Structure 1
Amino acid sequence: MSVLSALSLARVPARAFFALGIFWGCFAAQVPVLKAGLAVSDGRFGTLLLGSACGLMTAMWLAPRADRLLGARGMQAALVALAAAMLLPGAAPAPLAFFAAMLVMGTCSGLLDVLMNARVSELEEVSGRSLMNASHGSFSLGYAAGALATGLAREAGLGPLTIFGVGALVLACIAASLRMAPLASVPDPGASAAPSPLWPVALCGAVTLVAFMSEATVEAWSALHVERTLGGSAAEGALGPAMLGLTMAVGRFSGQLVAERLREWQVIIAAACLSASGALVVAAAPNPAVAYLGFGVLGLGVSVIAPMGLALAGRLVAPHQRTQVISRVAVIGFAGLFFAPALMGHTSEAFGLRAAFASVAGLLLTAVPLALVLRGLQRAGRAAA
């Protein structure tokens, strides 16, 4: 199945992925100026980013209920809320206000994330085809576009509130095209309260956590690494997260083809090793050009790990459990997007950004034993069937 046909089949949720990528790419490229405006240390800024993690935990409980109540307009409502939340960090005058802004952003982002992944998983079930990598590739394209546009806007002298305002308008326009009814019945309140299957949630969540923690370190700290450690300009700093987004798009679109030919656990192991080598290159880079190479290798490898975890979560459970299970897996995984920057900040403050990026390599390699355990779970499921 070609990438274009996969994107055509998943075109509505793919647009949601693209919009969410724009949002986080714009935010990542603004990190140096946001941090400077708050006048806080690396460790404290990383702690402030934990506001998003708190919001994400709220999204875990909201997502199944929102899916049930909003139905076809779920992704639309979530993206409109995210567009409004986009204005908050640029207007935050103090650390506490910034934490509150991150809390709201995390809630809205997590809600959209769960809903769009659930829609893709349903389309995979109905079509019998792999669509998750192509959909996540749309996120990476949006992320790269948001980061590049923000870097150019910063070079032109525009401030955070203006840049976030333009981004919010773009997201609001995309929201108009996101109407899509669930393809599988959404469980009733009693079913939603039932416990999720343990092993699909735990294992797929752990794989996704490793991937998104690794992504988050680059997204939140790459621009600062290029600008502060390697002496790059604002545009050069924005190229760090942009390079990650572009290569992740290439990796995910390629992964769309690979996923139909190889076992998921094989792809996860190879991708973890490749991305770990990229993290080591970033840590040792003597200049921005070498760092971009490392970001690119890291992006190519890490790009397919999370989509594999989310896709497996949807396939290993019954249809009526899909939204609930994906929301649980997403919460475990996407928590890495927010906890990782905090850990990165404290590691950077204690040992420097080079050591912090080197630690990412070790984190990525933990996906190898997780993939081997998932292999056993898949085989057990096939034997039971």
Structure 2
Amino acid sequence: MSDLRVSRAPAAGFIVVGLYWGSFAGLVPDLKAAIGASDGTFGLTMFFAALGALAAMWLAPRVDTKLGARALQGCAIALGCAFLLPGLASGPIAFTGAILLASAGSGSLDVIMNTRVSALEAASKRSLMNLNHALFSFAYAGAAVSAGFFREAGFGPLTVFAFVLVLNILLLSAMYQDAAVLEDDVTVGPSRMRRPLIWLGGIIILIAFMSEQATEAWSALHLERGLGGSAAQGALGPAILGLTMGVGRLSGQFISAHVRETYVLQVAGVIAALGLMIAASAPSLSVAYVGFATLGLGVSVMAPMAYSAVGKRVNNQQRAVIITRISVIGYMGFFIGPPLMGSLSEAFGLSISFYTIGVILLLVSVLLAPQLRKQ
């Protein structure tokens, strides 16, 4: 509980982001049907929407400086208002604009809360990143399940997002944080950056986010369309992913105190790849659930371990800028994932899409984590 008190403000931000994206994942079949999009078109809308997140990430340090102690609150309320728009969209173009704005709010909040957790880790000498990412996962799982029940009860996406906005508002007071925690993190020029470290950490996060996105956005479709599940059974796919990611990240909170992050990353890549391949080849809903659970346990620690590994290898003066840069590289996963999944699904089926992501995950174990260890 002391770790949670230390990181209370960014922790509330992680919960809010988890609530929105968990709800979105559980609502994908309804959102996709509402705009009349094919798999490829839906993937393309998400591709363009990710532009909003990347643009906002580059601007996030300025937003943080401008809003100061209110930065987390400001980004959270902007995110909440923007997420009402996808529920109102009636076509692919309107949906793309709506989710672009929602992604922009999410991207700003993501950079600011990860930067603040990293700064708190340095100031308190505690491991906090896995705990905060675990809170995101548990919020995501709860929201995905709730979205499934809302769908079963006949409520539409707008109602669900409006309900999450109420929860968002209730958490705003916890997000107030004195920005003095970041005073030591001054901007430094690119020439002083360790570029290999940035790219290795960023690409690991990219692969982790791409894998999460693949399952978050497409698991419900795989379960409902491919295996004949109901709306509630389909929502269990992203919900199980979120729940097991939360468990994995809480475990990572303790593992990181005894095992080097790069070794954990190698093992996690293999576990995550295995999980996706089980889900892709599943003959039944229960086996697919096992696959998504295995994926969640493996992929859960990849992004927070990469953030921690990079954070330990830089000084306070570099941290804010480097966290921003590896976050921007990492969020390219949201660019790559949706169109990759959509195009492969249309051409070969969802199962082949999942197999492909599984092979990419193995690159973390074989190539990227060992190279990161040398930095």
Which bin holds the TM-score, normalised by the shorter protein?
over 0.9
SS in 1 for 2:86: helix
How far apart, CA to CA, are the structure 2 residues paired with 1:5 and 1:284?
43
| TM-score, length-scaled by structure 1 | 0.94
SS in 1 for 2:87: helix
How far apart, CA to CA, are the structure 1 residues paired with 2:106 and 2:304?
17
The equivalent residue for 1:268 is: 265
Task: Tell whether the 8 Å contact from 2:188 to 2:321 is kept in structure 1 after alignment.
Answer: yes
Query: What is the CA-CA distance between 1:204 and the residue it aligns to?
Result: 0.6
- The equivalences for 1:220-239 within 5 A come to 220-239=217-236
Query: What is the CA-CA distance between 1:158 and the residue it aligns to?
Result: 0.3
The equivalent residue for 1:40 is: 37
How far apart, CA to CA, are the structure 2 residues paired with 1:187 and 1:308?
21
The one-character-per-residue Cα deviations of 1:42-95 (angstroms, maximum 9, x if unpaired) are: 111100011332012211221111111111111110000000011011101211
- The equivalences for 1:33-182 within 5 A come to 33-182=30-179
The equivalent residue for 2:282 is: 285
Query: What is the CA-CA distance between 1:339 and the residue it aligns to?
Result: 2.8
Compare 109-118 and 313-322 and name the one that shifted more: 313-322
Task: Tell whether the 8 Å contact from 2:216 to 2:238 is kept in structure 1 after alignment.
Answer: yes
Task: Tell whether the 8 Å contact from 2:54 to 2:331 is kept in structure 1 after alignment.
Answer: no
How far apart, CA to CA, are the structure 1 residues paired with 2:184 and 2:58?
14
The amino acid across from 2:128 in the alignment is: L
Task: Tell whether the 8 Å contact from 1:68 to 1:186 is kept in structure 2 after alignment.
Answer: no
The equivalent residue for 1:371 is: 369
Query: What is the CA-CA distance between 1:327 and the residue it aligns to?
Result: 1.1
Query: What is the CA-CA distance between 1:249 and the residue it aligns to?
Result: 0.3
The reply on whether 1:242 has 2:211 as its aligned counterpart is no
- The equivalences for 1:339-350 within 5 A come to 339-350=336-347
Q: Structure 1 366/302 Cα, relative in aligned 2: closer, same or farther at 3 Å?
A: same
Runs of 4+ aligned structure 1 residues displaced above 6 Å come to: none
The equivalent residue for 2:205 is: 208
How far apart, CA to CA, are the structure 2 residues paired with 1:199 and 1:107?
27
SS in 2 for 1:129: coil
The one-character-per-residue Cα deviations of 1:214-240 (angstroms, maximum 9, x if unpaired) are: 111000000111010010000000000
How far apart, CA to CA, are the structure 2 residues paired with 1:79 and 1:293?
33
| TM-score, length-scaled by structure 2 | 0.96
How far apart, CA to CA, are the structure 2 residues paired with 1:295 and 1:87?
28
Query: What is the CA-CA distance between 1:287 and the residue it aligns to?
Result: 1.4
SS in 2 for 1:49: helix
How far apart, CA to CA, are the structure 2 residues paired with 1:285 and 1:310?
33
Task: Tell whether the 8 Å contact from 2:272 to 2:296 is kept in structure 1 after alignment.
Answer: yes
The reply on whether 1:321 has 2:313 as its aligned counterpart is no
Task: Tell whether the 8 Å contact from 1:47 to 1:342 is kept in structure 2 after alignment.
Answer: yes
The amino acid across from 1:234 in the alignment is: A
The equivalent residue for 1:380 is: none
Give the aligned CA root-mean-square deviation in angstroms. 1.4
Task: Tell whether the 8 Å contact from 1:185 to 1:320 is kept in structure 2 after alignment.
Answer: no
Compare 143-152 and 333-342 and name the one that shifted more: 333-342
How far apart, CA to CA, are the structure 1 residues paired with 2:34 and 2:218?
16
Task: Tell whether the 8 Å contact from 2:75 to 2:105 is kept in structure 1 after alignment.
Answer: yes
* Corresponding residue to 1:300 among 287, 297, 302: 297
The equivalent residue for 1:381 is: none
SS in 1 for 2:283: coil
The one-character-per-residue Cα deviations of 1:107-132 (angstroms, maximum 9, x if unpaired) are: 11010000100111011101112110
The amino acid across from 1:176 in the alignment is: S
The amino acid across from 2:372 in the alignment is: L
Task: Tell whether the 8 Å contact from 1:87 to 1:161 is kept in structure 2 after alignment.
Answer: yes
The reply on whether 1:259 has 2:241 as its aligned counterpart is no
Task: Tell whether the 8 Å contact from 1:215 to 1:337 is kept in structure 2 after alignment.
Answer: no
SS in 2 for 1:366: helix
SS in 1 for 2:331: helix
The one-character-per-residue Cα deviations of 1:326-372 (angstroms, maximum 9, x if unpaired) are: 11111111221343122101110010001111111101101121000
Count of residues paired in the alignment: 372
Query: What is the CA-CA distance between 1:192 and the residue it aligns to?
Result: 5.9
The one-character-per-residue Cα deviations of 1:119-149 (angstroms, maximum 9, x if unpaired) are: 1101110111211011100000010011011
Q: Structure 1 74/192 Cα, relative in aligned 2: closer, same or farther at 3 Å?
A: farther
How far apart, CA to CA, are the structure 2 residues paired with 1:85 and 1:342?
23
The amino acid across from 1:295 in the alignment is: F
Query: What is the CA-CA distance between 1:193 and the residue it aligns to?
Result: 6.0
Structure 2 portions without partners, runs of 5+: none
How far apart, CA to CA, are the structure 1 residues paired with 2:178 and 2:316?
15
The amino acid across from 2:42 in the alignment is: F
Query: What is the CA-CA distance between 1:261 and the residue it aligns to?
Result: 0.3
- The equivalences for 1:346-361 within 5 A come to 346-361=343-358
Query: What is the CA-CA distance between 1:187 and the residue it aligns to?
Result: 5.8
The one-character-per-residue Cα deviations of 1:187-209 (angstroms, maximum 9, x if unpaired) are: 66xx3665543122111101111
The one-character-per-residue Cα deviations of 1:282-317 (angstroms, maximum 9, x if unpaired) are: 001111111110000000010001001112232222
